[in-house]
A and B are shown apart, each in its own frame.
Chain A
Amino acid sequence: MAKRLKVANPARCIGCYSCMMACARTWYDTISLKNSRINIQTRGGIETPYAAIVCHACVDPPCMRACPVGALTKRKGGGVNFNKEICKGCGNCIEACIVGAIHLDAENKAVICKHCGVCTKFCPHDVLEMIEVEDSGELKVTDTSPVEDTGPESPTASHKELYGKKEAEGEE
């Protein structure tokens, strides 16, 4: 079953950057924001909501078509697989991606999301989710029942297991 990353609840982002650090930590073995494949951005300071810039897992990815050496191939579930070895660092993919989800690393290789989902494990506010899609990348229709209530009392309320209820003892 194919899956892809989705920015499910952008307005819930608190700007903690845990997802970006998780991505760089997992795929670049570094402690940085630089080589994260997803990008949390501010738009005029944090008076206004954050923007999460994430690969949209295109069904027909323009970055792939723009790559002159064939380093990008279609991924099952949308988006691309990236062959780092043959990437020449021309940056055509960056131009082609109007979402702004691609950049180059220090070795001039494209940094591009592979929809592994590690970032979702480090999102404390349900901003990022992995969703099931068709192998082609097309969205799947799975739910036909009324939309679930996500209010604080509902069984599907946000981060139920997070932020435990027990108070730290004797601390202000």
Chain B
Amino acid sequence: MTTEQYAIPGLKNVLYIDLTSQSYHIEERPDLYEKYLGGIGIATNLMLEEYKEGTGPLDPEMPIIFSTGPLSGVYPTCTKTVALFRSPLNGELGESYAGGHLAMSMRYSGYETIVIKGSSRYPVYVTVHDDKVTFRDASSIWNLSSAIDVGQVLRRVEPGAGRRSIVRIGPAGEKGIAYASVNVDTYRHFGRLGLGTVFGAKKLKAILVAGNREIKSPDHNAYKKMYGKLYETIVKTGLMEKYHNLGTSENILVLNELKGLPTRNLQATSIESVENISGENFAEKYLIRRVSCAGCPIGCVHVAMLKRSFSKAHEYETLNISYDFELIYALGSNLGVTDPEAVLELIDACEKTGVDIISMGVVLAWATEMQQRGKISTEEALGLKLSWGDKAAYLRAIELVVKAPNEFYAALGKGVDYASKKYGGEEFAIQLGGLEIPGYHTGLGNILGLTVGFRHSHLDNAGYSADQKAFNQPISDEKIVDYIIDEEDRRSVLNCMVACLFARNVYTYENMVQALKCIGIEKTEEELKELGKDIFRKKYELKKKFGFRFENFSIPKRFFETISTTGKLEEERVRKAIEMYREKRGV
């Protein structure tokens, strides 16, 4: 069945927005949607079409592509939007996913995919109210100190409450911090790889998408039944219990116990007093509510309340801050911070300034070790002394990185790879492919996964999960490679839908085939699997164009010095596994 034949609006449109001329147009691309369905499949192909050899990440011609999928706004937990861009952090494939209300708003606005090109002469924000696109002057909200406040202003001046999504940058994006993030609604982000930086370079402060159209299924009864089945699977089986209960921060104690939790710049993989920053402790002492992305009955967004006294007369301010595993690793264990309130304050500072928290945490951890080794002088740090667990110093450091008052802090704002090439300490700059690592040091699967992954993210192929299997029952390195390949392809398909990866075991190939069928899209399991492989080839083609070469890849020594969940890793073993992967993949 072609896309023309089913009555789902938007499944052929691509909205092109040009910030330079402040104009827009719509192109119909049923050819693309028919083959690639949506999400990463569409975005990858559009990027290949748009990318002109030699265009830098922050050049005006470099596009930002947002795409949702055929299941977005249609089935539960299909709540994500993919953003594709060229990363200003490592020059490579920039790919990031965010939840919140964006996918549903885009879907119901009728634009499943949005391509943003050009750059504005002055700060602007763009609104999409159903089919109407407007450009508005954002000078008065440029320079606001908090990305949270930007949302509050736009909520006041723009209509569409409850049906809209507001994505915007904070000071870090405006100032060109290479790992600036984009805040989506509240507590959700396009976090990794510097989409916020690209926004800033385009002088694009925010985008508001509001949609309130209807979608019709050609077979409503079949759709209703399928919705019910998926909903029941999500809320009545154990498949997603973990995300609903303690959330991902459940892993803090687990990884600590297994010696897999990066601590003090990965000098260790477990930390004393870990119970203070455990998911259990956050839940018992600080968790006040959970919220969901629009269209997901799980409610995995864990919101903590931090009550701070600011006078002797019993006066308090309260902050509502969301936390999860990666944040607790990045601003907790990896900085030697085991005071949960300090972790929350550090999260809040990053949230306001709009930076990727994992990258910021790793940058600060590296800087701390550099200072301790006497490789960075106190003068270079403008008098600030960083030491493990020192919240006050880290809060100031976050501010200084964003304000970049001297060369040293400016270097920190370009990422740990850049800073370590400039100042030394590359052997303990814990990055792979120029991206600061997430909170796992579990062994071969993890390092291999981060190395070969499209965007060097744990979400590309969940290499840590292969290690977990290997820990429970020894498996060959080849099996680990195979696991990573299968997982990459499966995730590529899920990312066309664009389902939340927490629901990856709900959206099995079988369920995806059925869910698509019930809205009039015929695909077989084999076709979906082939789609995953096709996307792999296309993404590697893109990576190559952006300059990625296995030959240039180096792995910092620290990864081989610190014990992991599955023991100490040998460099040679990793090299061999990479070769095996390349051979099997033909890359």
Contact = CB atoms under 8 A, between A and B. Distances in A.
Given A29-B220, A124-B297, A168-B242, A15 B292 contact: yes
B371 interface: no
B565 to A, nearest CB: 11
A28 B214 contact: yes
Contact of B214 (A14, A30, A41): A30
Interface string B29-73: 000000000000000000000000000000000000000000001
Contact of B505 (A35, A47, A168): A168
Interface in A42-88: 42, 44-47, 49
Contact of B241 (A122, A166, A170, A172): A166
B242 A31 contact: no
Interface residues of B, number: 56
Interface stretch (B223-231, B384-392, B405-413): B223-231
Interface of A: 11, 14-18, 21, 24-26, 28-35, 39-42, 44-47, 49, 106, 122, 124-125, 161-168, 170-172
Nearest to A51: B162
A128 B293 CA distance: 19
Interface centre among A31, A35, A162, A164 (most CB of B within 10 A): A31
Interface of A is mostly: loop
Interface string B280-291: 000000000111
B74 A31 contact: yes
Contacts of A124: 235, 297-299
B214 A32 contact: yes
A125 to B, nearest CB: 7
Return the 5 tightest CB-CB contacts between A and B, nearest first.
Answer: A166-B238, A14-B299, A164-B238, A32-B214, A31-B215
Contacts of A25: 220, 223-224, 227
A14 B298 CA distance: 8
B476 interface: no
- Which of A34, A106, A124: most chain B Cβ within 10 A? A124
A35 B152 contact: no
Interface of B: 73-74, 76, 104, 108, 148, 151-152, 155, 161-163, 185-187, 212-217, 220, 223-224, 227, 231, 235-242, 244-245, 251, 289-299, 320, 462, 464-465, 468-469, 472, 505
> Which among A17, A25, A122 has the highest number of chain B CB atoms within 10 Å?
A17
B216 A172 contact: no
Contact of B162 (A24, A32, A39): A39
Nearest to A169: B505
Given A34-B214, A172-B462, A45 B152 contact: yes
Contacts of B216: 29-31
B163 A46 contact: no
Contacts, number: 131
Given A16-B297, A168-B242, A32 B215 contact: yes
Contacts of A41: 161-162
A163 B161 contact: no
A164 B73 CA distance: 25
Given A29-B216, A167-B241, 8 more contacts: A14-B299, A31-B214, A32-B214, A45-B151, A163-B244, A170-B469, A171-B505, A172-B251
B236 A161 contact: yes
8 contacts: A15-B294, A24-B214, A25-B224, A45-B151, A46-B185, A46-B187, A165-B241, A172-B468
Nearest to A123: B297
A167 B213 contact: no
Most B Cβ at <10 Å: residue of A14, A21, A49: A14
A44 to B, nearest CB: 6
A170 B214 contact: no
A60 B162 CA distance: 29
B320 A47 contact: yes
A18 B76 contact: yes
B155 A45 contact: yes
A155 to B, nearest CB: 19
B237 A166 contact: yes
B237 A33 contact: no
A166 B212 CA distance: 37
Contacts of B251: 172
A122 B235 CA distance: 10
Nearest to B299: A14
Contact of A18 (B163, B212, B231, B465): B231
B465 A172 contact: yes
Contacts of A165: 238, 241
Contacts of B74: 31
B262 to A, nearest CB: 15
A40 B101 CA distance: 13
B450 to A, nearest CB: 14
Given A14-B290, A18-B231, A49-B289, A31 B236 contact: no
A16 B212 contact: no
